[in-house]
Amino acid sequence: MAARIIRYNIAPEADFSYDQGMTLQRTDPAIAELIKEEANRQRDVLEMIPSENYASPAVREALGSVLTNKYSEGYPHKRYYQGNQYIDEIEDIAIERVKKLFGVPYANVQPYSGSPANSAVYMGLLKPGDTIMGLKLSGGGHLTHGHPDVTFSGTFYRSVQYDVDEHGLIDLDYVQSLAQKAKPTIIVVGTTAYPRIYDWKKWKAIADNVGALLLADISHIAGLVVGGAHPSPVPYADVVMFTTHKTMRGPRGAVLLVTDQGLKKDPEMAQKIDRAVFPGLQGGPHDNVTAGIAVCFAEAATPAFTTYAKQIVDNAKTLSQTLIREGFTLTTGGTDNHLMVVDLRPQQVIGNIAAVALEVANIVVNRNSVPHDTNPPFYPSGIRLGTPAITTRGMKEKEMRQIGKWIADVIREVSHYRLPEGKEERGLFLKKIRLELAANKKLYSIARSVTILCKKFPVP
Ligand SMILES: Cc1ncc(COP(=O)(O)O)c(C=O)c1O
């Protein structure tokens, strides 16, 4: 690898007079250089972390616009600051677009991200000590779904967690009996690592049966829902939350929707959520992000996005079938959505080694726990991968078959490594492995082939 020289100090010739010529390159060449290198990395690798994507140049233009200069605490036409006539219009547009996309009566587009958005639902609709019922982290749930002790949701509320079965599937009969015992105030449905479709109607029946609210956290699958590649929770859930930067392909942010069903249960639900977002948890909205969100909703309303959403799923299915043919075990036996989790226990490879080896081969995934993993989350037994970003580049089934074979070859190449037992030994071992893998000829050759493939599919 060529040596990289970055100057961390401010360039001595930098001129800080605030004028149009104050480019990033001139003002801060170190950051400019790192951004360029990150752009090259994103161009030259297969980004297969399922929560990542390539936002369009239009979205990025809105993000980098003068809107970052403005303060606009409050909501459209009810601000605490002057000078918000254009910001109001932008936020109104974002709200109207998302209401139309999902067919809901109410939307809040201000949450800074998914975690504060879920927290706003709890703050707005629950009292401290009420019960949140969500999926365990190790089963594919999210920290904000009541993960005990270390999180906001697991500290200020009583948390009861359901789990997946030994195949990685959510057994709704078991969820129903747990709900009957736990009597949760809210049931959270939505995951970071679940490859199957949610049966929203059954979830609503479970929630109704115990008088719980139903929050659908569709952070991962929002783009699939909009594109018709996954059923919508809107007819069944009371509140829907999603992040805008995953399959929705927008900027980092989140949206809260209240459905007709939610308003029927509590006509004040929308106002309660508005108040929880601001002033409950947040200050001024990030107006540049709001504009980027509006742009991504315009993009998501096009027929091209529907084609994109369907292709994400077709690609994931082809990739999962290829991996199964290559002898790998996928949790739940495959996928219906954009992601899959490979259980590497039969290969006796830990997720860390697989993920590092794949990165050397220019395939970027993340290590992940598998259902009922006996390894700790830091050394989990699997990897999680997804197709949203590589589908944005235009890759299709043919490329998925090739990528599946590369992934299989990489994992086979490292299947003789065994993680030592001792904690300290493990750290040293992983450092040593990194160096060894960086010099591995097989991985290097796959990395070159990946880069050649990537060149044919430019990033937006
Ligand atoms: C299901 C789910 N909910 C919430 C979040 C939190 O989003 P953020 O990282 O934007 O806070 C994530 C992020 O990975 C997620 O997957």
How confident is the model over 55-112, as pLDDT tens digits?
999 999 999 999 999 999 999 999 999 999 999 999 999 999 999 999 999 999 999 9
Determine the CATH number of domain 66-300. Answer: 3.40.640.10
Q: Which atom of ligand 1 is nearest to the CA of 115?
A: 11
User: Could you give the percent of the chain with pLDDT greater than 70?
Assistant: 96
Instruction: Calculate how far, in angstroms, residue 21's C-alpha sits from the geometric centre of ligand 1.
Output: 38
The helix or strand, by DSSP H or E, that contains position 286, with its residue range, turns out to be none
Instruction: Calculate how far, in angstroms, residue 366's C-alpha sits from the geometric centre of ligand 1.
Output: 15
Tell me the residue type at 355.
Answer: A
Q: What is the pLDDT of residues 210-238, one digit of tens each?
A: 999 999 999 999 999 999 999 999 999 99
**Whether the Cβ atoms of residue 236 and residue 200 lie closer than 8 Å to each other:** yes
CA dist 433 and 427 (Å) reads 10
Instruction: Say whether pLDDT at 12 is over 60.
Output: no
Q: How many helices (H) and strands (E) does the chain have?
A: 18, 15
Domain 306-456 in CATH 3.90.1150.10 = yes
Q: What is the pLDDT of residues 304-334, one digit of tens each?
A: 999 999 999 999 999 999 999 999 999 999 9
Q: State how far the alpha carbon of 96 is from the alpha carbons of 93, 109, 293, 295, 298, in Å.
A: 5, 10, 12, 12, 11
Provide the pLDDT confidence category of residue 6 given band limits of 50, 70 and 90: low
Instruction: Say whether pLDDT at 140 is over 50.
Output: yes
The residue whose CA has the least distance to atom 16 of ligand 1 is 192
The residue whose CA has the least distance to atom 9 of ligand 1 is 114
Q: Which pLDDT value is given to residue 1?
A: 45
Which residues have CB under 6 Å of ligand 1? 51, 113-115, 118, 142, 144, 190-192, 217, 219-220, 243
Residues annotated as catalytic are 71, 73, 217, 243, 246, 252
Q: Which pLDDT value is given to residue 2?
A: 47
Instruction: Say whether pLDDT at 151 is over 80.
Output: yes
Q: What is the pLDDT of residues 337-376, one digit of tens each?
A: 999 999 999 999 999 999 999 999 999 999 999 999 999 8
Q: Which of 41, 1, 44, 40 is nearest to 455 (CA)?
A: 44
Task: Outline which parts of the chain fall under CATH 3.40.640.10.
Answer: 66-300
Task: Outline which parts of the chain fall under CATH 3.90.1150.10.
Answer: 306-456
Mean pLDDT computed over every residue of the chain: 95
Instruction: Calculate how far, in angstroms, residue 246's C-alpha sits from the geometric centre of ligand 1.
Output: 9
Both tokens of 383, joined, read 């990897």
Q: Which pLDDT value is given to residue 345?
A: 96
Q: What is the dihedral of CA 352, 353, 354, 359, to 10 degrees?
A: 90
Q: What is the pLDDT of residues 160-178, one digit of tens each?
A: 999 999 899 999 999 999 9
